[in-house]
Amino acid sequence: MNAIFWAALAALLLLCVPEARRHPRLIALAALLYGLDDLAVMLPVWYQMQVSGTHGNWTGKLLSVGLSLLLIYGFRVVSPAEAGLTRPAPGSLRQVLPVVLALTALQFGGAFWFRHTHAALPPGWEGHLYQWTMPGLAEELFIKGLWLGLLARVFPRTLPWLGTRTSWGGVIGLALFVLGHVLTFNMGPLQFLPGIRPSLEVPLTVAFWGGLFLWVRERTGSTLAAVVAHNLINAALYLGLALP
């Protein structure tokens, strides 16, 4: 049921942009894919929390990665180039890398400070392995790769974005990414209407990092660069929480 909710919400947000109404089939396909990705991610969650005892949604993230790769390389919904599965544009890393490394250092410092001022327990090895790989790979491959590549056929990259340009597909993908961390489905796969996390810190933090990863994707032209940036930031967080 929650997959239907996310597909409907994606369609609603996309149709708020006038250009989208001239491409109903592509918009319907984009909304369907968003719902399918959520289904892939969320179906294993209930089992893992209730039965398996693992701490990360390994199965869901791997299913999401598999779905994205199947749609790109198997069904050719978009080409690898449209999905940004290419090398970064020449010279782009000279602008992107210093920003990402500086924010990585700040993320590490903040996590290290929190660990020692709040006496937080360090994460285990599984948490490290999961955060260093799965979130960035699954989320960026789908949102910045498959989804953004498909919507580039509808929305041109005309919106200024931190010195580069993105499209309404990028902005709406970011909005859905933030809402995915705010709206919760904790009651199982049959829950349709979500709960809401009351904290303002979560959407602001997610919007900041999601905006950064969108900038990396657009500035370099490479989803792979966004994957590396995402996982690097996650790794810094978990290292900061772990080091004595």
Domain boundaries, the chain: 2-242
**What's the pLDDT score for residue 35?**
95
Instruction: State pLDDT tens for residues 11-69.
Output: 999 999 999 999 999 999 999 999 999 999 987 766 655 444 455 688 899 999 999 99
Q: Please state which of the ranges 41-55, 89-103, 129-143, 160-174 shows the lowest mean pLDDT.
A: 41-55
Instruction: State pLDDT tens for residues 185-224.
Output: 776 666 777 888 888 999 999 999 999 999 999 999 999 9
**What's the pLDDT score for residue 53?**
47
Q: Region 123-128: what's the mean pLDDT?
A: 87
Write a three-state SS string for the chain: CHHHHHHHHHHHHHCCCHHHHHCHHHHHHHHHHHHHHHHHHHHHHHHHHHHHCCCCCHHHHHHHHHHHHHHHHHCCCCCCCCCCCCCCCCCHHHHHHHHHHHHHHHHHHHHHHHHHHCCCCCCCHHHHHHHCCHHHHHHHHHHHHHHHHHHCCCCCCCEEECCEEECHHHHHHHHHHHHHHHEECCCCCCCCCCEECCCCHHHHHHHHHHHHHHHHHHHHCCHHHHHHHHHHHHHHHHHHHHCC
What percentage of the chain exceeds 90 in pLDDT? Answer: 76
